[in-house]
């Protein structure tokens, strides 16, 4: 029931238009409003639907620089991974942290107002993180697609 076709349909519409009123969402999924709310609540309890996230245009707020950093850690120390993540989480300008299998261990997304600001964050907050063996940086030009109609 939690992952059947009807529930997937709810998630699909939820994904496409997240701030639709419940009644509208229900109609598009072919359900009554109450039923839809009940299913969504079940999915939330099961951790399938994890709520919503605000999308903010950082450039409009003066954060025009976004940099993607790929970090390779010094794996000679067993706690390197956890310690690095723990410290990286504390940096407000780090907006995303993803971990990987392979040569690269972690990817960080960093937000900054301009290049001078980025340089400052990089020197004082990033390079002081523990256990870094190597860093590669890419400057982001644009976010083209972010989860519109994923496979459900």
**Contacting positions for DNA (CB under 7 A):** 1, 6, 21-23, 30-35, 37-41
- Which CB atom, from 6 or from 48, has the smaller least distance to DNA? 6
With CB under 5 to 8 Å by kind, the binding choice for 150 among a second copy, DNA, none is a second copy
Whole-number Å distance between alpha carbons of 120 and 66: 14
HSE at residue 74, side-chain half, CA atoms within 13 A, is 8
Length of the chain: 152
Task: Rule CB under 8 A: say whether 46 interacts with a second copy.
Answer: yes
Kindly state the number of chain residues that form the binding site for a second copy, as judged by CB under 8 A: 57
Tokens read off for 98: 């993803």
- Which CB atom, from 54 or from 76, has the smaller least distance to a second copy? 54
Q: Which residue from 126, 148, 129, 149 is spatially nearest to 137, judged by alpha carbons?
A: 126
Which of positions 99-118 make contact with a second copy (CB under 8 A)? 99-104, 107, 111
Binding mask 124-143 for a second copy (x = CB under 8 A): --------------xxxxxx
Q: Which residues pair with 117 in a beta bridge?
A: none
Tokens read off for 129: 């993180």
Task: Rule CB under 8 A: say whether 89 interacts with a second copy.
Answer: yes
């Amino acid at each position: 029931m939690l992952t059947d076709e009807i529930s997937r349909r709810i998630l699909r519409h939820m994904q496409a238009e997240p701030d639709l009123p419940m009644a509208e969402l229900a109609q598009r999924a072919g359900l009554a409003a109450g039923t839809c709310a009940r299913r969504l609540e079940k999915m939330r309890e099961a951790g399938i639907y994890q709520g919503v996230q605000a999308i903010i245009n950082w450039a409009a707020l003066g954060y025009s620089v976004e940099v993607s950093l790929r970090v390779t850690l010094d794996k000679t120390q067993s706690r390197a991974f956890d310690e690095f993540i723990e410290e990286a989480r504390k940096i407000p300008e780090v907006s995303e942290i993803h971990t990987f299998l392979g040569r690269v261990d972690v990817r960080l997304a960093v937000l900054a107002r301009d290049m001078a600001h980025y340089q400052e964050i990089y020197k004082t907050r990033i390079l002081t993180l523990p256990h870094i063996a190597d860093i590669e940086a890419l400057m982001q030009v644009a976010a083209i697609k972010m989860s519109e109609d994923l496979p459900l």
